Structure 1
Amino acid sequence: MTRNVLIAGAGPGVSGSLARLYAAEGGSVGLLGADEDVLAALRADVEAAGATAGSTLVDLTDDTATRAAVTRMGEHVGHLDVVHFNPSAYREKDPLSLTVDELLEDVRLGVGALLPVLQAARPFMGPGGRVTVTGSMAADTPWFGAASLGVQKAGVQNLVHSIDAVLKDDGIRAVSVTVRGLLKDEGPFAPDNVARALRAAIDQDEDDWRTEIPYAG
């Protein structure tokens, strides 16, 4: 089955692997990201795999620009089958040095940006549509040295539960995959393997749907 996929927060790691994975299945892959060079490389990878690619440079914390970018991509492909949300902010500050403004800035990207992405994508999604999120063990076992990351991952995991609850009657489901390990170049926590876990999450049985799936390698 070919799918039209939108990846918000596209980068060289897990989201890049996910883009290439979906590209290998055909369909269309839309990429939203903040690094023009990375987007160009990913777009080339998608097209080399024989899929249709589109990319837009956008600051996902800019609500208006994000909505416009998602809408343009939705209008271009006609419908969206999978929306994947990937971004988070890594700031090495503990709770004694992290300011309120810094925390809110990070949460705006790692949690809040999911709202305009989802709301703009919703008119292009129908039964069978899926929303996926790259989760992290930082949600429940945070490292104090990067305190805002744990708040982001806990927040976005919680938000996914609400998204699924509000969309499931329309046949659209949401899931976050909690990566319980540190990303590495090789082994079970290599980006390609984490991407496979995210890809597999959309095929789970709807009668036994889980909105949070741990990936422990």
Structure 2
Amino acid sequence: MTRNVLIAGAGPGVSGSLARLYAAEGGSVGLLGTEEDVLARLRAEVEAAGALAGSTVVDLTDDTATRSAVTRMAEHVGHLDVVHFNPSAYREKDPLSLTPDELLADVHLGVGALLSVLQAARPFMGPGGRVTVTGSMAADSPWAGAASLGVQKAGLQNLVRSIDVTLKDDGIRAVSVTVRGLLKKEGPFAPDNVARALRAAIDQDEADWSSEIPYTG
């Protein structure tokens, strides 16, 4: 089955691996990211894998720009089958040095931007549509040295549950894959392996659907 896939927060890591994985199945892959050179390389890799590709440089914390970018991509392909949300902000500050404004800025990117992406994508999604996000063990086992990351991932996991409940009657499901390990270049937590777990999550039986799946490698 070929799918039209939109990846928000596309980069060279897990999201790049996921883009190539979906590309190998055909369909089309839309990429939203912040670095033109990174997007250009990834777009070329997607096209080399046999899929149609499009990319847009956008600041996902800019609600208006993000909604416009999602709408343009969705109108180009006609519909969206999978929306994947990947971004997070890593700020090495503990709770005694992290400011409220910094925390809110990080949560805007790592959690709030999902609302911009989802709400713009929803008119182009139908029964069988899927929303996936890259989760992290930081949601419930945070490192105090980067306190905002744990808040982002906990909030993202919670929001995904609400999204799933809201959309399930329309046949659209949402799932967060919680990566319970540190990403590495090789081994179980290499980006390609994590991407396979994210790809597998959309094939869950709806009767036993879980909106949060741990990936332990």
Q: How far 1:57 moved relative to its partner?
A: 0.2
Residue 2 (structure 1) aligns with: 2
Identity of aligned residues (%): 89
Q: How does 1:1-217 map to 2 (within 5 A)?
A: 1-217=1-217
Q: How far 1:113 moved relative to its partner?
A: 0.1
CA distance in 2, matches of 1:157, 1:34: 23
Which whole-Å deviations, capped at 9, do the CAs of 1:108-140 have from their partners, x for residues lacking one? Answer: 000000001000000000000000000000000
Q: TM-score, normalised by structure 2?
A: 1.00
CA distance in 2, matches of 1:12, 1:146: 22
Listed as ranges, the gaps of 5+ residues in structure 2 are none
CA distance in 1, matches of 2:46, 2:55: 11
Give the number of aligned pairs: 217
Listed as ranges, the gaps of 5+ residues in structure 1 are none
Residue aligned with 2:103, SS: helix
Which whole-Å deviations, capped at 9, do the CAs of 1:134-189 have from their partners, x for residues lacking one? Answer: 00000000000000000000000000000000000000000000000000000000
Q: How far 1:78 moved relative to its partner?
A: 0.2
Q: TM-score, normalised by structure 1?
A: 1.00
CA distance in 2, matches of 1:19, 1:193: 13
CA distance in 2, matches of 1:89, 1:131: 20
Q: CA RMSD in A?
A: 0.2
